[in-house]
Amino acid sequence: MANITETMMAPGKSNSDIFEAAKVALPKAGFEIWKLRDIAWMVLAKGKVNDVDADANVMARPGGSVAITVGAEGVSEADLRAAAQKIIAALKEKIG
């Protein structure tokens, strides 16, 4: 399975703020949440990229750093990055 990870910064936002925003952003970007890891500030989701089953997750890191990972079998890196960018756009919209 091909995976990509994008990072973004959310200065001034707590890990809890980012975690809560991820719970809204992933569905907005077309992914269904299937698991929450509260203690790790991580949201795991499933969806489709180019009609192929895909996994996505968002994890808040200390210092306002956010890791967005998207993976799918047989999907180009460019398409995975495009899916990650949709998640990032939804996160930025929610976080402000």
Single pTM value for the model:
0.94
> Helix, strand or coil for residue 71?
strand
Instruction: List the helix and strand counts (H, then E) for the chain.
Output: 2, 5
Nearest to 43 by CA among 32, 33, 55, 31: 33
> Helix, strand or coil for residue 80?
helix
Binned average pLDDT, 10 residues per bin, the chain of 96 residues: 93 94 97 97 97 97 95 96 97 91
Domains and CATH numbers, the chain: 2-95 (3.30.530.50)
What confidence score (pLDDT) does residue 1 get?
A: 76
What confidence score (pLDDT) does residue 96 get?
A: 75
What confidence score (pLDDT) does residue 18 get?
A: 96
What confidence score (pLDDT) does residue 7 get?
A: 96
